Copies of this chain bind each other. A is one copy, B any other.
Amino acid sequence: MSAPLPTPTRVAIALGDRGYDILIGRGLLDSAESFDGLPAAPCAVIVSNTRVAPLYASRLREVLAARHARVLQIDLPDGEAHKDWASLDAIFDALLAANCDRKTLLYALGGGVVGDITGFAAACYMRGIAFVQVPTTLLAQVDSSVGGKTAINHPRGKNMIGAFHQPLRVIADLDTLASLPQREVAAGLAEVIKYGPIADSDFLDWLEGNIDALLARDTQALAHAVRRSCEIKAAVVAADEREGGLRAILNFGHTFGHAIETGLGYGAWLHGEAVGCGMVMAADLSVRLGLIDSAYARRLKDLIARAGLPTVGPALGAERYLALMRGDKKAEDGDCRFVVLDAPGRASVRAAPDAVVSAVLAAHTA
């Protein structure tokens, strides 16, 4: 037997009766303690995908079988292209076919796509049932599994159909990151890097010193990155659960990024890749609006490039970019609005003139 694993880190999301814990550590997936205190509903349903399920579902099933009389499993097709109504309805159909009642507990086992779909299915099934996030990608552990944003994509726009629905717990097992394709490690690092410029300059410094260790999946480095990311996200979400204002800063790089994803067709670029490139654009926009100096934007771009992420966007044409971004959820009265950096470690949401945005696009698309 190997040595006992260290006690997991616990980050609390302070949302009153919707509050919950994020557990971060090794070997959590099939440790009974990870599930202590969750409702022992008669029926649990693991929602995963065809890539993740063969790796981890049987271990999760085993630990859940001790807690629930029935454990069902639904494997969705893998990838952002399947974050749609067809996948959502596949969950509803399986739940109804198995007579799953309102007390049924869903477990989202996978990355951001699985988590977002499963959370939205939980939000809507019989007008709302409970769910638990078991994120197995870096991106999901540091961002998408935390905070209760759930959604599916619409052909006309990313994450356009969804709900705020908080999970009962997030169980982030760092050991699952070992099986990630390298491209997904890089994509996850985009959302990690994000937290530096919007909220924590010290964390950006730390990332510059540890990016190679993170790419090499050094467990201690990953543990720190996941924990600090979750702490920052927890603080922002606790202050503004339903994105009345502050929470929008978590979407730094996402207005440009979503335009890339929707414009190319979902799945062509990974979400984190689009966000990485989008942060380069958003930082340059901040420079052109006179908010930060170009050295800071360059520093950020260098880190994004070192993470193995694209820094040049696809040539969709400025008009197409602008049209897609005018449909963004932050847009108001037909004006695009962007998360910009007001200073190192501080962000806000602002409108920007089309001419300035076009200049940014000209500078950062191939």
A180 interfacial by beta-carbon distance below 8 Å: no
A205 interfacial by beta-carbon distance below 8 Å: no
A337: nearest chain-B partner, CB-CB: B101
A123 interfacial by beta-carbon distance below 8 Å: yes
- Which of the 9-residue segments A167-175, A193-201, A220-228, A325-333 touches chain B? A325-333
Interface residues in A89-139 (C-beta closer than 8 Å to B): 89, 92-93, 96-97, 99, 101-103, 123-128
**Best-buried of A92, A103, A332 by chain B (most CB within 10 Å):** A92
User: When chains A and B are docked, how far (Å) is the Cα of A333 from the Cα of B124?
Assistant: 20
Q: Which residues of B contact A103 (CB under 8 A)?
A: 332
Q: Which residues of B contact A162 (CB under 8 A)?
A: 124, 126-127
Q: Which residues of B contact A127 (CB under 8 A)?
A: 149, 151, 162-164, 242-243, 329
A125, B160: Cβ atoms under 8 Å?
Answer: yes
User: When chains A and B are docked, how far (Å) is the Cα of A156 from the Cα of B329?
Assistant: 33
B156, A96: Cβ atoms under 8 Å?
Answer: yes
B160, A327: Cβ atoms under 8 Å?
Answer: no
Which residue of B93, B97, B329, B333 is within 8 Å of A126 (Cβ)? B329
Which residue of B42, B96, B161, B243 is within 8 Å of A125 (Cβ)? B161
User: When chains A and B are docked, how far (Å) is the Cα of A98 from the Cα of B329?
Assistant: 13
B164, A128: Cβ atoms under 8 Å?
Answer: yes
Q: Which residues of B contact A332 (CB under 8 A)?
A: 101-103
Q: Which residues of B contact A242 (CB under 8 A)?
A: 127-128
A181 interfacial by beta-carbon distance below 8 Å: no
A252-295: CB near B (< 8 Å → 1, else 0) gives 00000000000000000000000000000000000000000000
A331, B99: Cβ atoms under 8 Å?
Answer: yes
A126: nearest chain-B partner, CB-CB: B329
A334 interfacial by beta-carbon distance below 8 Å: yes
A154 interfacial by beta-carbon distance below 8 Å: yes
A154, B334: Cβ atoms under 8 Å?
Answer: no
A157 interfacial by beta-carbon distance below 8 Å: yes
**Best-buried of A93, A127, A163 by chain B (most CB within 10 Å):** A127
* Given A99-B331, A333-B42, A334-B99, A93-B163 contact (CB < 8 Å): no
Q: Which residues of A contact B (CB under 8 A)?
A: 42, 85, 89, 92-93, 96-97, 99, 101-103, 123-128, 149, 151, 154, 156-157, 160-164, 242-243, 326-327, 329, 331-334
> 10 new A-B pairs (CB below 8 Å) besides A124-B162, A124-B163, A127-B149?
A92-B160, A93-B154, A101-B329, A101-B332, A101-B334, A102-B329, A124-B161, A126-B329, A127-B163, A127-B329
